[in-house]
Chain A
């Protein structure tokens, strides 16, 4: 049973436009969320995170929004660039391990394609 869900397997966006990647979760005890980016033949790379005490966190072109009542978070990339083309994973820190980032629950990922 998936506790972290990314329901869109793929997303295609034009360069310069906004990319919005969505993630839903089922466990209301989750209190720390992360986004990772993964290129083929590489391991996931940390992008941005958000704690449940916030509803927004921004880092350059990347912004993550958290809606706790809806158990939903989203990653916004503005403006999108061709180099952003990758698989994006949403992850939650397992509360059974006290917020450890060494024990993450991942979604299935969304493949983002940014077209020039």
Chain B
């Protein structure tokens, strides 16, 4: 069984650009969460989606947005990139909103 897959694995963008990160959950999982992990810190919650509805949002600016598609895959979009957005972006999926979350390997975003 495939685990949570994220694409791309690495990405370099310039300040002010826009980026889209993608996540495919484990088959049968209906909940997807996004986290940002900057160097030396633990993952910080950005969004949770369940059954295509936003279920939770962390303390991130409106430049960050996400959506979940009918097949339960998800995209995280970040507009007007800042140097401080450089981080590992992790996606986690779970069967429903309250069960164990399984993480993907992450997308390493570097903003220059």
Contacts and interface: CB of A to CB of B under 8 A. Distances in A.
Contacts of A6: 42
B104 A43 contact: yes
User: B interface, how many residues as a size bin?
Assistant: 20 to 34
Contacts of B42: 4, 6, 89, 91, 106-109
A89 B4 CA distance: 19
B2 to A, nearest CB: 14
Secondary structure dominating the interface of A: loop
Contact of B48 (A42, A43, A49, A100): A100
Contact of B41 (A46, A104, A108): A108
Contacts of A96: 56
B53 to A, nearest CB: 12
A106 B44 contact: yes
A36 B45 CA distance: 15
A102 B56 contact: yes
Nearest to A90: B42
